[in-house]
Amino acid sequence: MKHLKIIFIAFLIGITIFTVYMYIASLQEKYDMLTTLEKIKVEVVSLKNENQNLLVSLGNEKTLNNSLTAENAGLKEELLAGEEKLNKLGEEFQSALKNIEELNNEVVALKAENVSLANQKEIMTLQVAQVAQEKKDLEEKMDSVVELKKMIRNLKKHVRKTTKEVKTLVKIEKVKAAQLREMLGNNGYIIRDGKPTFSPRIKIQVEPISQ
């Protein structure tokens, strides 16, 4: 009985020790689980906060995306409008180039015409100067009474001298004609009133010189 009591007591002590060990182990496991649970709670809260931040960021991204989409649409419209303006400017530029080319041709033609007009002007200037000089000389001559009278006297002298020379020449020709008639006789022509009927070979006509 004594041995059984000792075995029973040892058995109880073993059970007690095992129970205490198991209890301590359970407490340690519980503490570890609580610690792990707290960590999980913290992680959950952190994940919730991060999720919330992600949602906010996602909303901001959506808003930004919508804004960028609208801005992109506006840029596309502006791009189309810019292309239309660029095409219009290109057409205007081509038209301007054509107008510039036509103007250049007109300028070249005008320059050539200006050169021709300048030459004509120079010629006309020389002609005007020449005419003006001739007019001046003529006016000087015509305004000079003395020169005009001198010209008239010279003309009268020339007329008188010419008349005398013509009369002298007529007399000489008459003498020559008379001498010739005497030498040749009447040559069969009839003489009437002492004059031969044939026409003289030399006809002299004196006309006065116009003043």
Residue 185 has pLDDT above 80, yes or no: no
Residue 201 has pLDDT above 60, yes or no: no
**Rg of the chain's alpha carbons, rounded to an integer?**
75
Phi, psi torsion values for 196, nearest 5 degrees: -70, 150
The average pLDDT across 162-170 equals 81
Tokens of 1: 């009985």
Determine the residue type at 56: V
Cα separation, 109 vs 118, whole angstroms:
14
Average pLDDT over the chain, rounded to an integer: 78
- Is it the case that residue 151 has pLDDT exceeding 80? no
Average pLDDT, integer, range 192-202: 54
Residue 191 has what DSSP assignment? E
Tokens for 183, please give them.
């030498």
pLDDT at 199 over 60: no
Residue 187, Ramachandran bin (φ over 0: left; ψ between -120 and 50: alpha; else beta): left
Alpha helix ranges (H) inside the chain = 2-143, 145-184
pLDDT tens for each residue of 46-87: 888 888 888 888 888 888 888 888 888 888 888 888 888 888
Q: Is the pLDDT of residue 147 over 50?
A: yes
Torsions phi, psi of 203, nearest 5? -115, 115
CB 159 within 8 A of CB 174: no
Q: CA-to-CA distance for 39 and 27, rounded, in angstroms?
A: 18
Tell whether the model's pLDDT for residue 168 goes beyond 80: yes
- Please determine, for residue 211, whether its predicted confidence score (pLDDT) is greater than 50: no
**Single-letter amino acid, residue 41:** K
Question: Can you give the pLDDT at residue 180?
Answer: 67
Bridge partners, 191 (sequence order): 196
pTM: 0.31
> By percentage, how much of the chain surpasses pLDDT 90?
0
**What confidence score (pLDDT) does residue 205 get?**
53
Q: What is the pLDDT of residue 109?
A: 86
Query: What are the b/e assignments for 101-123, b being 16+ CB within 10 Å?
Result: eeeeeeeeeeeeeeeeeeeeeee
pLDDT at 8 over 60: yes
Q: Is the per-residue pLDDT at 40 higher than 50?
A: yes
What is the mean pLDDT of the segment spanning 105-120? 84
- Taking 60 as the threshold, does the pLDDT of residue 190 lie above it? no
Q: Given this model, what pLDDT does residue 52 score?
A: 87
